[in-house]
Amino acid sequence: MIDPFDFSPWDFWSRADDEARRRQLDTQRALAARPGWVFGTDCFVSELASVDNEELELGDRTYIAAGAYLTGSLRTGRDCSMNAYTVIRGTVQIGDAVRIGAHTSIIGFNHTMTTMEVEFFRQPLESRGIRIGNDVWIGSHVVILDGITVGDHAVLAAGAVVTKDVPTGAIVGGNPAKLIRSRLAPAVPVDNARDALGMRVAAFADTARAQALTVLDRSFDARSGLFVDRPGAAPTVRAQCDAVEIADLLLGSAPPQLPVGEQVDRLRGWQDPGTGAVAALTSDPAPAGSTGFDDPDAAYHVLCVGYSLQLLGSGFAVPLTLATTVSAAETIAALDDLPWHTNAWSAGHRVDAIGTAQHLSRLRGDSIPTGATDALFGWLLTHADPRTGMWGSAAPEDGLLQLVNGFYRASRGTFAQFGLPLPYPERVIDTVLQHARDDRFFAPASQNACNVLDIAHPLWLTRATGYRSDEVRALARRLLEDALGFWTDAAGFGFRAPDHDTLGLPETIPGLQGTEMWLAIVWYLADLVGVSESLGYRPRGVHRPEAATP
């Protein structure tokens, strides 16, 4: 006969007999002998549940009912309940007083799908983790996807499929889940796709999509058949890639100015056959010839050409020796030699290229020297400053600029791209928020795409911590409102924000680089605020939010 407490354990400790209590305590003592397993007082774990976690911490009076299936790393606060047949897998953190209905799935990982040449189940997993706040009611048959943060006092209606963060006090439902109403007082607004900012974001996206072809035509040089950053500029490798990314974001296709095959052949044909590097274009225009990766342009072309070829359904033609010939010892030596304390951006730029070369080489099926990837991550983990969460140091002349910008580049190509957790995420948030107070870089007239992206991405990458979340959202909202005003009709974004004192400067003239970067920035800021759904696009290239591990 099935014990009813297995399915309804809430009053077990007040109603169960002494023998049942002893058996439950024996069960918990046996489980707690496993490394990383900790139980609070008056917990209950049904013998009919499948609990196979690597780490498990249950707060006081937390219950796991029959049929529950738990794996990965789970930490809960007090007074939590996992009803019958709940599934919780991956990395999940749950606050106090969270009640989870039957047949709910909370999945803190996902399958990658970077190639159609390998079956889904053979491709690696990625995990960003799930964070659920305090006093949350999760109904039956709810699905919560990886990377989601659910705020305190939220309600997830039965059957909801939660695909984006849920604000504090929000009641959401549906597939995908949308805001039904807020439990907060009317005087405290909740950011969502139907508020004024959401409507402004949607209007911006409609304008950008309607003008996308005009923006691309403006930068297409019909004589050479190449894109330029802006009218009058010379063709560059990056301009071809920026055009691909902009078309993918706003048109959902390749740039229509040229056949796809011609664009693929050109990008692949620019690789040096010996090293795999793509050099800057000469005046011909053609690549500069045989080259390696020491040139900053060639290092960035690993990213922009590699991802553009992916968006066009292709990949590099020849191996990238930056990844295929550099041993673990050589990787460490190269990282040691980078100018972390004098030019952290340059150091991060190099790390981004190394990490991306390793990722793209795996996609190609190329062999990488044993231990090279472990050496890359091992060096970064052991050299991260526990005070800032970053690599390098601040400089008197530009404050935290080099430190933060270098961190973005280094973390983008490694921890973000490979879907791995940062060593000190809360310290990263502290450092970024301190940097964002520097008006030399973040007053509306002083902003440029590089500096804003370099704080938007780290804040998005660390959002699951919930640390200083109100300040993060307030900053994201301010920067988003600024960015929406930088668009120039029929031309796009300049790299630098336009202002009456800076109009006419080359960096304020709209071009493909500024447009590609600001479109990605708008997405990240909108997602931090909770209105990215209104954009109708999501970056898939260099600035993609998902991990890209093959």
Write out the catalytic residue numbers: 111
Token output for 45: 């774990």
Please spell the DSSP secondary structure of 33-94, one letter per residue. Answer: TSTTEEE-TT-EE-TTSEEEEEEEEE-TT-EE-TT-EEEEEEE--SS-EE-TT-EEEEEEEE
Is 173:180 a contact under the CB 8 Å cutoff?
Answer: yes
Pairing of β 63-64 and β 81-82 = parallel
Quick one: 440 exposed, middle or buried, by C-beta within 10 A (0-12, 13-18, 19+)? exposed
Nearest to 529 by CA among 467, 469, 483: 469
State the Cα–Cα distance between residues 146 and 88, nearest whole angstrom: 11
Cis peptide leading into 235, omega within 30 of 0?
no
Pairing of β 50-58 and β 69-75 = parallel
Nearest to 370 by CA among 405, 316, 432, 324: 324
Nearest to 316 by CA among 262, 354, 273: 273
Contacts of 409 (CB under 8 A, 6+ apart): 345, 348, 349, 351, 352, 454
Please spell the DSSP secondary structure of 98-165, one letter per residue. Answer: -EE-TT-EEEE-EE--S-SSS-GGGSPEE---EEE-SS-EE-TT-EE-TT-EE-TT-EE-TT-EE-S-
Contacts of 504 (CB under 8 A, 6+ apart): none
CA within 13 Å, CB half, 282 = 8
Is 354:337 a contact under the CB 8 Å cutoff?
Answer: no
Determine the Cα angle at 57 with ends 142 and 108, to 5°. Answer: 35
State the Cα–Cα distance between residues 200 and 504, nearest whole angstrom: 27
Backbone angles phi, psi at 27, to 5 degrees: -60, -45
Contacts of 232 (CB under 8 A, 6+ apart): none
Nearest to 234 by CA among 244, 245, 223: 223
